[in-house]
Amino acid sequence: MSPPTAVKATIISDHPQTYEDEHVHAVYDEIAPHFSSTRYKPWPIIARFIASLPTGWVGLDSGTGNGKYLPLPLNRPGDIWTIGVDRSRNLLSIARKAGEGDVTREVVWGDVLGRPWRDGAFDYAISIATIHHLSTAERRKAAVQRIIQSISPSHGRALIYVWAIEQDDLSKRSIPSDQTAALTDSTGQDVFVPWVLTSPAPKVGPKVKPRRRKQNQQLETPTPETSQEDVARESQQRVFNRYYHMFAKGELTALVHDAARGLALEVGPEPVGSEEKRRGLHIVEDGWERSNYYVEFKCWECT
């Protein structure tokens, strides 16, 4: 029998929305406080991206979770405003209080496939560890298109971050290589990742409050989830299987290209001295960081 933290291959059996409701949204609503207590440290690429944004910019965090990116950059608070969207109402209750002090964050209950914004209203967008929860290639492409449409066509910048098939050595997760080898190519891999929750859900009391930040920083390692080993030792536990699409090498950047072309955007750097009206999207950087793939792009427009 495999340990409860092992990753299992999965086949998407239902209507995608129904499937994600059960294997993503319902799970996050259940595990919200515990999940949040393990998610504090921003990954370096994301912190660097946010630190590079000019004062006065307003952005969208699509799939904000517990809102850990909403207070950034910490060294110049309030210079930019990031508005968080998530499908999990319970995570949003945590996100609206994210960060130090008594600052209230802006959060919106919504879906990453929705488009409840003026077109191009934002200066930037981030989508961190979110698109990999969508269960078809079409839906992942649509989510990228919603991001492109939400940012300014002339200067909008975005960063997308998803889980990679290629895991680093720090990750203790076992990836099922044998039974899914056939599925592992440029189209990625569909898996369940268990979240082990000590059960029954604790009554509110001083002993069961989420652990303090200082301790959690010790626990945090740069993988999508790590702390289930700690709680797995407890006798009563419930296992929630979260659906992930693990991205293959090159798949994320190809997805952004595809999404851009689907919106009639050119893909490539902004042309110099163009006389005609053109719109496009330029990949600024892409790569792999600590078990994740990321892509940063910017939009451009010649008028």
Binding site for another protein (CB under 8 A): 17, 54-58, 77-81, 83, 85, 87, 89, 92-93, 96, 103-111, 113-118, 121-123
Residue 108 near residue 136, CB atoms below 8 Å: no
In whole angstroms, the minimum distance from the beta carbon of 155 to another protein comes to 10
Which among 176, 165, 170 is positioned nearest to 3, based on CA atoms?
A: 176
79 versus 230: smaller Cβ distance to another protein: 79
87 versus 257: smaller Cβ distance to another protein: 87
107 versus 255: smaller Cβ distance to another protein: 107
In whole angstroms, the minimum distance from the beta carbon of 2 to another protein comes to 35
Q: Is 212 exposed, middle or buried (0-12, 13-18, 19+ CB in 10 A)?
A: exposed
Which among 248, 249, 231 is positioned nearest to 240, based on CA atoms?
A: 231
Residue 21 to residues 25, 203, 300, Cα–Cα distance (Å): 5, 26, 35
- Work out the angle at residue 193's Cα, subtended by the Cα atoms of residues 87 and 105, and round it to the nearest 5 degrees: 30
In whole angstroms, the minimum distance from the beta carbon of 154 to another protein comes to 12
Q: Is 290 exposed, middle or buried (0-12, 13-18, 19+ CB in 10 A)?
A: middle
154 versus 237: smaller Cβ distance to another protein: 154
Q: At what angle do helices 137-150 and 251-262 cross, to 10 degrees?
A: 60
In whole angstroms, the minimum distance from the beta carbon of 143 to another protein comes to 13
In the chain, the amino acid numbered 206 is: P
Q: Are strands 157-163 and 124-128 parallel, antiparallel or unpaired?
A: parallel
43 versus 122: smaller Cβ distance to another protein: 122
Residue 255 near residue 146, CB atoms below 8 Å: no
In whole angstroms, the minimum distance from the beta carbon of 134 to another protein comes to 14
13 versus 55: smaller Cβ distance to another protein: 55
In whole angstroms, the minimum distance from the beta carbon of 89 to another protein comes to 7
79 versus 185: smaller Cβ distance to another protein: 79
57 versus 244: smaller Cβ distance to another protein: 57
In whole angstroms, the minimum distance from the beta carbon of 105 to another protein comes to 7
Long-range contacts, stretch 71-78, CB < 8 angstroms, 24+ apart: 71/98, 71/99, 71/100, 71/103, 71/105, 72/42, 72/47, 73/47, 75/51, 77/103
In whole angstroms, the minimum distance from the beta carbon of 182 to another protein comes to 32
How far apart are alpha carbons 167 and 150 in whole angstroms?
Answer: 31
